[in-house]
Structure 1
Amino acid sequence: MDRRPQLDPRALPPGTPVGPWQVADWRGCGSYGTVYQAWKQGHERAGPVALKLAHFPEDKRFDRETALLSRIHHPHVPRLLDFGHWRHPSGALYPYLAMEWIDGEPLYAWGEVYQPTSRQVLRVLAQLARALAATEAAGGMHRDVKGDNVMVLPGELRAYLMDFGSGIWAGAARITEEVLPPGTRPYRTPEALRFHWQHRLRRTVRYEAAPAEDVYALGVTAYRLVTGVYPPPATEPAARDDDQRPTTPTRSPPQVLNKRVALPLAVLIERMLAEDPEARGSANSMAEALEEAAQSAGPEADVPLFNAKRAQETPSAFKELSSVAEQKPVHRGLLWKMAPVLGVLFVGTWWLSRMPPSRPVAQVEAQEATEATVGLAHAAVTEPVGSTEVPPGWEGVALDMPQRPLPGQLKPDASGRCPGRNHTSLNGGCWRALKGGEDKCAEDENEYVHKGECYAPVFSRGRQPTSDSAQDAGSP
């Protein structure tokens, strides 16, 4: 019997060779890949690269990401340096990508720590829109634009659009079976959510994403950046069959939630969030509008979006909110009681107290104080970036399988196995398959859909699951 330790692609020790690269340090782990800092053997002076290694042999997602990145050459997209396959001692081949190392800050953390102005945010958004325009010009779409997939170099005010693992290009083969393509739920467009609602029980129907959806996701990202909360869900399912009712819930303009947001920025965010895809315009036209606004905006665009006190108190307040969110749902009454700690995270407690009961409260993303700001790791580790309460009308719709384990959920051992006989390892967590398929799912608040089947998470003993701890991350 071979008793030698088996190499796990999720935890390679320093010094492990992967193609011409040598692993230097572990940087982050997502659902489908782990990112390492690596150096080219014999060329250490050339600097580090971000080495992204697949968790599963012959993972087609890496082939598609490689093909898309090879088509895009843009100063705000990390350069693809190399790709290939790492041979495991068992003989299995695991694909890898080597990319330009981006040593910056994740977008939302940058906003909290560096106190940008509206003009600086306009410039960062313009750079991201240019990256999307380049992706569209190459015949592709990103399909997962969000704060976690953006890195900013603070000193240069330079932004990078990261993690094209969910991307696609014209003519590429589909590799998922869900109705909707990969994505993160708070960033879904009205048209995508309406389609999902109408065809959720028809497994043969597939939604085709369009470039305007990347523009919408950029709008959600911008809204979250300048207000600290997500906009309400893009559609109201209860109005789906009523032509007399608007399908888009009322959304507070960014300036209502944050008086410091300059009007040109607020107007363009609202344009990106338009219900009509044509009203959003192309990524190229949006980039031009953002650049023009950054150039012509008045002195009000040079006011920091958040005060210094908020920046100093944010880390501890984030930890407090994260701890509460993992234990039980966060209601407005609790937030009011915690106002001394959480007040700096929101525009004001007066706004929270005046919110109508039917409107979901967006929770601010939990930012761990120990999180390292390291290059591509933040992008490749597909972290959900917050959550919203289940909107009225969606209570009976099962959630998509999250892309990482839920808090307290059991995880498979080093061999990828879960302890229970009927337990399955999915997306880094242990799950129990339920009978009935997707149409019978969602009878319980902790049921999730994966490839048309219904699953329940398996938790450690003594841990009671809570629905608010689940964070939507779209389909795989």
Structure 2
Amino acid sequence: MTTSPRSGRRFVGPGERFELVDHIGSGGFGDVWLARDGMLGREVALKFLALERLAGSRPDPVRVPQIRDRFARESLIAAKIDSPYVARIYDCHMGNETPFLVMEYVDGEPLSAHVGITPLPLARTCRWSSQIAQGLAAAHDQNVVHRDIKPGNVLVRETDSDVRIVDFGLSRFIDATETRSAAGTPLYMSPERCRAEPGDERSDLYSLGCVMYEMVTGWPPFGDTRADPIALAQAHQDKAPTPPRAQVPGVPSVLNTLIMDLLAKDPQQRPHNARAVVHAIKEVERDLNASGADRRIEGPAPDPSASVTDNGFEDQLSAAELAVRRLTWKHGQNHALVITARMELADLTGHSGDVRGAAELYDRLGRDCSAWFGPGHGRTLDAFEGMARWVSARSREIH
């Protein structure tokens, strides 16, 4: 087959092995489709190479084969990454048709759907940041640098709320094929990448710092999606970010220090590698667990029968978040069981040591209940009462 999937054909690959099921999205690289592997009977994601766009309107006859060869090489390198937190590459099909990657299909939504509104609970920030760092460590072990770590390239699985990093190797491929500028996203780009330098593993760590900053504050360290890319690049190179603790009270000092270290302008001043970041996040989690263990706050106590790992409340929080999603899917957002589950998640978040996160979860629930049932409804009042309880606990903690 030599036809693009957009022509209406529903099968691609050797022997029409892959059935196209749904068009997931498009980007500078090309189209992404959910497909069914007819041979292995599993769902996969197919990422098609936008060969014509990358080659230009008047491509050199030599350029197209070069792009295809580079695509195959970068795919082979990225496929060597072995981590539960990196979306796997199963195959790369060149043939005579539009080249495409066969990748693990991640049933979930990007991290960008979770950030950019309000700060995330600290326990969730630590969990997802640690998983991203572990994925980066596995990639860096294979000398693979992502070069475009951002919330849109981190997917959160629906089934277990674990993350998967996607698009490893594609930024380096675009760097080699595009001549205008280095690949990357200005909101999360390291100073050296803003200067169109190749960068290394510590460039990924800077981008991780930008993502973590957004998790704990609700916005990136510099600007927003409407900001001028040139101004953003200048800020990354010259401007010192405001410490997260100065933006949002309640950010632990050790987490604040880690994020600021990741955002150092000089790569030599950032953490040595991704595993050092994982270790630092464990220190943050230990501090949170220790402070949470000493608190005695009115409200539902954590389930003593729940599984608790060395990370304290991590498994309980993950199970509570999953329960909220499953109940929402089954009953709808405003069902009593969903509201109760959200309250339990908020209280568990507070008991884990994240008092600020508990208050914010209750506040969000109160606003939702007010919209659904009215400001004077019992569920609305219960939610705001829960928020007030944790706000009071936070005030006692500060003073």
Higher helix share: 2
Quote the residue 2:25 is aligned against.
28
Specify whether residues 64 and 286 from structure 1 end up closer, same or farther in structure 2 by C-alpha distance, changes over 3 A only.
same
After TM superposition, list the pairs within 5 Å mapping 1:446-461 onto structure 2.
none
Quote the residue 1:16 is aligned against.
11
Specify whether residues 113 and 189 from structure 1 end up closer, same or farther in structure 2 by C-alpha distance, changes over 3 A only.
closer
Quote the residue 2:287 is aligned against.
296
Unaligned runs of 5+ in 2: 53-63, 224-228, 293-352, 369-399
Using the TM superposition, give the Cα deviation of residue 130 of structure 1 relative to its aligned residue in structure 2, in angstroms.
1.3
For the 8 Å contact 2:148–2:185, the answer to whether it is kept is yes
After TM superposition, list the pairs within 5 Å mapping 1:322-361 onto structure 2.
none
Quote the residue 1:218 is aligned against.
208
Distance 2:121 2:191 in 1: 29
Distance 1:312 1:154 in 2: 25
Distance 1:40 1:128 in 2: 28
Using the TM superposition, give the Cα deviation of residue 229 of structure 1 relative to its aligned residue in structure 2, in angstroms.
1.9
Of 129, 132, 140, 2:133 maps to 129
The one-letter code matched in structure 1 to 2:82 is H
After TM superposition, list the pairs within 5 Å mapping 1:157-176 onto structure 2.
157-168=161-172, 174-176=176-178
Using the TM superposition, give the Cα deviation of residue 155 of structure 1 relative to its aligned residue in structure 2, in angstroms.
5.3
RMSD: 3.4
| 2:29 counterpart of 1:38 | no
Quote the residue 2:187 is aligned against.
186
| 2:79 counterpart of 1:70 | yes
Quote the residue 1:81 is aligned against.
90
Give the SS at the match of 2:22. strand
For the 8 Å contact 1:104–1:151, the answer to whether it is kept is yes
After TM superposition, list the pairs within 5 Å mapping 1:277-316 onto structure 2.
277-281=267-271, 282-297=273-288, 298-299=291-292, 300-301=353-354, 303-304=356-357, 306-310=360-364
For the 8 Å contact 1:82–1:98, the answer to whether it is kept is yes
Quote the residue 2:316 is aligned against.
none
Using the TM superposition, give the Cα deviation of residue 311 of structure 1 relative to its aligned residue in structure 2, in angstroms.
7.4
Using the TM superposition, give the Cα deviation of residue 310 of structure 1 relative to its aligned residue in structure 2, in angstroms.
4.5
CA deviations on 1:98-126 (whole Å, 9 max, x unpaired) are 11111122113134799842122112111
The one-letter code matched in structure 1 to 2:43 is P
The one-letter code matched in structure 1 to 2:72 is D
Give the SS at the match of 1:157. coil
Distance 1:117 1:107 in 2: 14
Using the TM superposition, give the Cα deviation of residue 147 of structure 1 relative to its aligned residue in structure 2, in angstroms.
0.6
Give the SS at the match of 2:85. coil
Specify whether residues 277 and 135 from structure 1 end up closer, same or farther in structure 2 by C-alpha distance, changes over 3 A only.
same
Quote the residue 1:252 is aligned against.
242
Distance 1:77 1:12 in 2: 31
Give the SS at the match of 2:357. coil
Quote the residue 1:231 is aligned against.
221
CA deviations on 1:140-198 (whole Å, 9 max, x unpaired) are 200000010001125523111111253449xx9933334x53111122223444x46xx
Specify whether residues 42 and 8 from structure 1 end up closer, same or farther in structure 2 by C-alpha distance, changes over 3 A only.
closer
The one-letter code matched in structure 1 to 2:280 is A
After TM superposition, list the pairs within 5 Å mapping 1:52-71 onto structure 2.
52-56=47-51, 59-60=67-68, 62-71=71-80
Quote the residue 1:209 is aligned against.
199
Greater shift after overlay, 298-307 or 278-287? 298-307
For the 8 Å contact 1:49–1:99, the answer to whether it is kept is yes
Using the TM superposition, give the Cα deviation of residue 40 of structure 1 relative to its aligned residue in structure 2, in angstroms.
1.3
The one-letter code matched in structure 2 to 1:248 is D
The one-letter code matched in structure 1 to 2:191 is P
Higher strand share: 1
Distance 1:232 1:173 in 2: 24
| TM-score under structure 1 length normalisation | 0.52
Of 157, 172, 178, 1:153 maps to 157
Distance 1:124 1:12 in 2: 39
The one-letter code matched in structure 2 to 1:24 is V
Distance 1:311 1:86 in 2: 52
For the 8 Å contact 1:54–1:96, the answer to whether it is kept is yes
Give the SS at the match of 1:256. helix
Q: For this pair of structures, how many residues does the alignment match?
A: 279
Of 95, 106, 109, 1:105 maps to 109
Q: Which has the higher contact order (CA 8 A, sep 6+)?
A: 1
For the 8 Å contact 1:114–1:154, the answer to whether it is kept is no
Using the TM superposition, give the Cα deviation of residue 17 of structure 1 relative to its aligned residue in structure 2, in angstroms.
2.8
Distance 2:191 2:119 in 1: 31
For the 8 Å contact 2:44–2:103, the answer to whether it is kept is yes
Distance 1:311 1:48 in 2: 35
For the 8 Å contact 1:120–1:157, the answer to whether it is kept is no
What fraction of aligned residue pairs are identical, expressed as a percent? 27
CA deviations on 1:358-396 (whole Å, 9 max, x unpaired) are xxxxxxxxxxxxxxxxxxxxxxxxxxxxxxxxxxxxxxx
Quote the residue 2:395 is aligned against.
none
For the 8 Å contact 1:120–1:294, the answer to whether it is kept is no
Unaligned runs of 5+ in 1: 1-5, 88-92, 197-206, 241-245, 315-476
For the 8 Å contact 1:166–1:183, the answer to whether it is kept is no
